[in-house]
Structure 1
Amino acid sequence: MSGKLIVFEGIDGAGKSTQLSMLYQYLQQRGYNLMTTREPGGTPVGEEVRSILLNPLHGDLQHRAEAFLYAAARSQLVYQVIKPALREGKIVLCDRFVDSTMAYQGYGRGISRNFLQQINDLATGGLQADLVLVFDLPVEESFKRVNKRSTGDRLEQETHSFFQRVREGYLEIARQQCHNHLVMDASLSVEELQRQVRTVVDNFIDGKLRESD
């Protein structure tokens, strides 16, 4: 089996990181060759960039500079971690990828999506996810969950209207790229949502195995 990139997306508080971790354990028990990573981050350089991007003290970070920093961290991750893992035939579970930039900086910030596509094509060398799970949650519920766990990083402190635009962006992206995107109802219980995630991923992997026969 060739390597596959499965990406978990969604607004803050949607539970994607929890679902990714649970899926990793499930697939590991089934004997798959796996790795997990996250954005921004996943490499020493990327983690340093992450600390800048999420630091509330950097509230004056210019929007295009923000987009370039995300792209820089992504490029490091793709070439240092993701592409080598895919060449080794691994299933890579990634917490956020290109869609986060399109949703947050494109729909949320209002930056030209053509511009964002260009810098991300450069950053990734055109690498695309094989499957994207978009965890959808009403913004009000997102705020409740985030406020319970922390005071919020730089992005988590954004306004309700910002996150509403981000949410709508994710849903629009999923509609436009329905061939490899699937929207998951993140308001479900953790257990029920994981059951659905496992079903989707099992079907995806089984389908890819049949294609390679």
Structure 2
Amino acid sequence: MRGKFIVVEGLEGAGKSSVIQLLVDCIEAAGHRCVTTREPGGTAMAEAIRECVKQPWDETVAQETELMLMYAARRQLLINKIFPALNDNVWVVGDRHELSSQAYQGGGRQIDAEIMATLSQITLKGFKPDLTLYLDVTPETGLQRARGRGELDRIEQEGMAFFKRTRERYLELAASDDTIITIDTMRSMELVHRDVIARIKAFLEC
């Protein structure tokens, strides 16, 4: 038996944390062991890369540098945590995965698709989540919610145009992949959570 890999995606302020906990509760209630991860991060080395990516620097951070760090952290997480868990029949719920890079660096940063595809092949070798829940929120609302949590990191301080391009890429990718489910988080939390529960229960019954 092999575990399943479920990912929660979305812009800042989309409500990923509460949805992740909801998924874990549903999965465990169905009798499966479950662990959570986050990207970038999830292992000692990947967390160090996260700090490198997130903090402000007194120098220009090249877009390609940011992108390669994201994929390097992702590879470390896969090898050290995700693959071992799945092979031990443990379900993994991830706070972000490759869709984030495709949206933020591919869409927001507008990095060439060929570069993105090459890095993806090197690090993931075709591996992808069994299910992705993309929590859709407008950049205006999401960033307002994020500011309410405290100080924004280096990427969260990008301009509105960056986040609009990121959201557009998220929506484009979600529409082209039937393993990605879009959930409107501009509604009340009760309705969002009801939708999430229905989606994960349908997946568990497959």
Partners of 1:15 and 1:163 in 2: CA distance: 16
Question: What are the superposed Cα offsets for residues 143-177 of structure 1, whole Å, 9 maximum, x if unpaired?
Answer: 21011111200111011010000000000000111
Partners of 2:116 and 2:35 in 1: CA distance: 27
Aligned twin of 2:186: 187
Aligned twin of 2:87: 87
1:2 Cα deviation after fit = 2.6
159-168 vs 117-126, greater mean Cα deviation: 117-126
Partners of 2:59 and 2:41 in 1: CA distance: 20
Unaligned regions of 5+ residues in structure 1, if any?
Answer: 208-213
Aligned twin of 2:199: 200
The one-letter amino acid paired with 1:184 is: I
User: Does the 8 A contact of 1:52 with 1:58 survive in 2?
Assistant: no
1:91 Cα deviation after fit = 1.4
User: Superposition RMSD on alpha carbons, in Å?
Assistant: 1.3
User: Does the 8 A contact of 1:19 with 1:190 survive in 2?
Assistant: no
1:187 Cα deviation after fit = 1.2
Q: Does 1:35 align with 2:57?
A: no
After TM superposition, the structure 1 = structure 2 runs for residues 1-213 of structure 1, keeping only pairs within 5 Å, are 1-57=1-57, 60-177=60-177, 179-207=178-206
Partners of 2:146 and 2:180 in 1: CA distance: 25
| Percentage of matched positions with identical amino acids | 36
Question: What are the superposed Cα offsets for residues 154-212 of structure 1, whole Å, 9 maximum, x if unpaired?
Answer: 111011010000000000000111x20110011122232112111101111211xxxxx
Q: Secondary structure at the match of 1:168?
A: helix
Partners of 1:88 and 1:59 in 2: CA distance: 43
1:62 Cα deviation after fit = 0.4
18-27 vs 85-94, greater mean Cα deviation: 18-27
Question: What's the TM-score, normalizing by structure 2?
Answer: 0.95
Number of residues of Structure 1 aligned to a counterpart in Structure 2: 206
Question: What's the TM-score, normalizing by structure 1?
Answer: 0.92
Q: Secondary structure at the match of 1:57?
A: coil
